[in-house]
């Protein structure tokens, strides 16, 4: 059990961050959010959380650490668009490395007990030959986004071994659920669900058999909460260990809505990963975490949210 703590969530107005903040508040913690609202939304912010609209690279971050005296820090704020990281690797580095280091160095300076970081199991392993992929698989990312997620893990490890700053890096699979941004690259489930609920067509690039490991946001939030546990340090995959392809998603949506979904097939995207799926046994052994929400249940919950948030 965790006693009431003062907790910072960077990126707490975003998809995963706002769901995490809601849970932390529900558990009785005092929560502070730093978010630039680059992609996050003010309406997702929990009313009980203190909010600073600020870039994570700002020098004011240090003042907030000095005044608020955090016990724990969740670092989720990020540039999350893989394609954008390819187009503009310098911007990705500024947010995901320099911004992250501003948060991390303040954790160490102001004696935060532990920092929990949202890393990416989908992006850091590159094109792994071992599926489901364990943490021991050699990571060779194939995007600046993946390189920066992996590099930040190395900074965390360095701060821990040399300076004593405790950390957990959760290598998240493809997260889906309420409040996920519907446009752009992120979140194919959210895009397909939104299209289906609004009677619009969905597009599949390639044959639709490319797989991912889709994990419901509440399971990810629970993993982040458990990561606070004393003595748990290091990198952990957070996924389901089950591959789903795009046709599985369409079928699950059709079953949940009891209606046909319109789909059009387009040319495959260059360089797209064919398969991705994470082995979560290390985190299960360390903290007993495992996914609780099954795929069809998660799709239904996402549809319900989408219907109420058109
Ligand atoms: N969604 C996924 O499938 C997934 C998978 C692996 C890892 N992650 C990681 O999880 C974290 C949360 O992702 P999400 O899906 O909730 O995305 P999101 O875009 O909804 O959340 C990111 C938040 O960070 C904020 N932000 C961005 N740049 C900022 C800056 N410079 N200063 C302050 N705030 C800034 C945004 O406004 C937003 O609220 C990210 O670190 C992401 O890389 C997500």
CATH code for the domain of 226: 3.40.50.720
Q: Same domain for 94 and 224?
A: yes
Residue 56: predicted pLDDT: 98
Give helix 100-109 / helix 60-68 axis angle, nearest 10°: 30
Q: Could you tell me if residue 12 is left (phi over 0), alpha (psi between -120 and 50 degrees) or otherwise beta?
A: alpha
Same-domain check for residues 196 and 85:
no
Q: What is the overall mean pLDDT for the chain?
A: 95
Q: Is 35 in the pocket of ligand 1 (CB under 6 A)?
A: yes
- 1 found inside a domain: no
Instruction: Give the closest residue (by CA) to ligand 1 atom 11.
Output: 76
Question: What backbone phi and psi angles, to 5 degrees, belong to 262?
Answer: -80, 130
Give me the pLDDT at residue 125, please. Answer: 97
Whether ligand 1 lies within 6 angstroms of the CB of 8 is answered as: no
Is 31 in the same domain as 95?
yes
Q: How confident is the model at residue 92 (pLDDT cuts 50, 70, 90)?
A: very high
Q: Are residues 51 and 168 in the same domain?
A: yes
Q: Is the CB of 239 under 6 A from ligand 1?
A: no
Label residue 57 exposed, middle or buried (CB < 10 Å: 0-12, 13-18, 19+): middle
From the CB of 61, is ligand 1 less than 6 Å away? no
Question: What local confidence, expressed as pLDDT, does residue 11 receive?
Answer: 98
In this structure, is residue 198 part of a structural domain? Answer: yes
Average pLDDT over residues 242-254: 97
In a domain, 181, yes or no: no
Q: What is the pLDDT of residue 186?
A: 56
Catalytic residue among 72, 145, 176, 216: 145
Q: At 181, is the pLDDT very low, low, confident or very high (cuts 50, 70, 90)?
A: confident
State the pLDDT at residue 74.
98
| Same structural domain, 159 and 247 | no
Give the ligand 1 atom nearest the CA of 38: 37
Domain membership flag for residue 64? yes
pLDDT of residue 70 exceeding 60: yes
pLDDT score for 270: 80
Q: What average pLDDT does range 269-294 have in this prediction?
A: 94
pLDDT band of 272, cuts 50, 70, 90 = confident
Do residues 167 and 103 share a domain? yes
* Residue 282 banded pLDDT, cuts 50, 70, 90: very high
Q: What is the mean pLDDT of residues 225-232?
A: 95
Structure tokens at 150: 């992996």
pLDDT of residue 1: 52
CATH assignment at residue 194? 3.90.25.10
Q: Give 91 Cα–ligand 1 centroid separation in angstroms.
A: 14
Q: 74 and 199 share a domain?
A: no
pLDDT score at 310:
76
Domain assignment present for 137:
yes
174 lines ligand 1 (CB under 6 A): yes
For residues 267 and 129, membership in a common domain is answered with no
User: 158 and 22, same structural domain?
Assistant: yes
- The answer on 134 and 27 residing in a single domain is yes
**Looking at the domain assignment, is residue 149 inside a domain?**
yes
User: Residue 183 falls within a domain, yes or no?
Assistant: no
Mean pLDDT over residues 287-297, rounded?
Answer: 97
pLDDT bucket at 14, cuts 50 / 70 / 90: very high
The average pLDDT across 96-113 equals: 98
Residue nearest to atom 30 of ligand 1 (CA): 55
Q: Is 266 part of a structural domain of the chain?
A: yes
Q: What is the mean pLDDT of residues 33-55?
A: 97
221 plus 285 within the same structural domain: yes
Mutate to test the pocket of ligand 1, among 8, 11, 92, 179 (most ligand atoms within 8 A of CB): 11
Task: Tell me how far the alpha carbon of residue 35 lies from the centroid of ligand 1, in angstroms.
Answer: 10
The pLDDT value recorded for residue 158 is 98
**Calpha distance 180→246 (Å, rounded):** 18
> The domain containing residue 249 runs over which residues?
188-211+243-274+302-308
CA distance 238 to 170: 6
How far apart, in whole angstroms, are the C-alpha atoms of residue 153 and residue 13?
23
Q: Is 167 a catalytic residue?
A: no
Q: Is 218 left (phi over 0), alpha (psi -120 to 50) or beta?
A: alpha
Structurally, how many domains does the chain consist of? 2
Q: Flag whether pLDDT at 269 surpasses 90.
A: no
| Percent of the chain at pLDDT exceeding 70 | 98
pLDDT at 271: 78
Q: Are residues 220 and 254 in the same domain?
A: no
- Ligand 1 center to residue 131 CA distance, Å? 26
Query: What pLDDT is stored for residue 183 in this prediction?
Result: 59
Distance of CA 48 to the CA centre of its chain: 22
């Amino acid at each position: 059990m965790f006693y009431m703590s003062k907790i910072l969530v960077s990126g707490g107005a975003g998809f995963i961050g706002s769901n995490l903040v809601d849970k932390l508040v529900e558990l009785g913690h005092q929560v502070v959010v730093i978010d630039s609202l680059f992609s996050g939304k003010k309406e997702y912010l929990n009313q009980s959380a203190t909010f600073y609209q600020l870039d994570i690279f700002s020098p004011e971050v240090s003042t907030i650490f000095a005044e608020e005296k955090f016990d724990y820090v969740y670092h989720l704020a990020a540039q999350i668009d893989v394609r954008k990281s390819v187009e503009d690797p310098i911007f990705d580095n500024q947010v995901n490395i320099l911004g992250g280091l501003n948060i991390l160095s303040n954790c160490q300076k102001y004696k935060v007990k532990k920092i929990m970081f949202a890393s990416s199991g989908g992006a850091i392993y590159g094109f792994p030959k071992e599926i489901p992929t364990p943490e021991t698989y050699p990571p060779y990312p194939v995007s600046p986004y993946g390189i920066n997620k992996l590099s930040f893990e190395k900074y965390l490890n360095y701060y821990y071994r040399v300076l004593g700053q405790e950390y957990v890096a959760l290598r998240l699979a493809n997260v889906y659920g309420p409040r996920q941004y519907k446009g752009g690259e992120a979140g194919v489930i959210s895009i397909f669900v939104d299209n289906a609920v609004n009677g619009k067509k969905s597009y599949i690039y390639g044959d639709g058999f490319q797989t991912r490991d889709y994990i419901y946001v509440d399971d990810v939030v629970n993993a982040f909460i458990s990561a606070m546990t004393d003595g748990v340090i290091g990198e952990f995959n957070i996924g389901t260990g089950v591959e789903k392809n795009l046709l599985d998603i369409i079928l699950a949506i059709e079953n949940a809505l009891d209606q046909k979904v319109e789909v059009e097939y387009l040319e495959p995207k260059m360089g797209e990963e064919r398969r991705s799926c994470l082995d979560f046994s290390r985190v299960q052994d360390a903290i007993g975490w495992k996914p609780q929400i099954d795929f069809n249940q998660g799709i239904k919950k996402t549809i319900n949210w989408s219907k109420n948030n058109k």
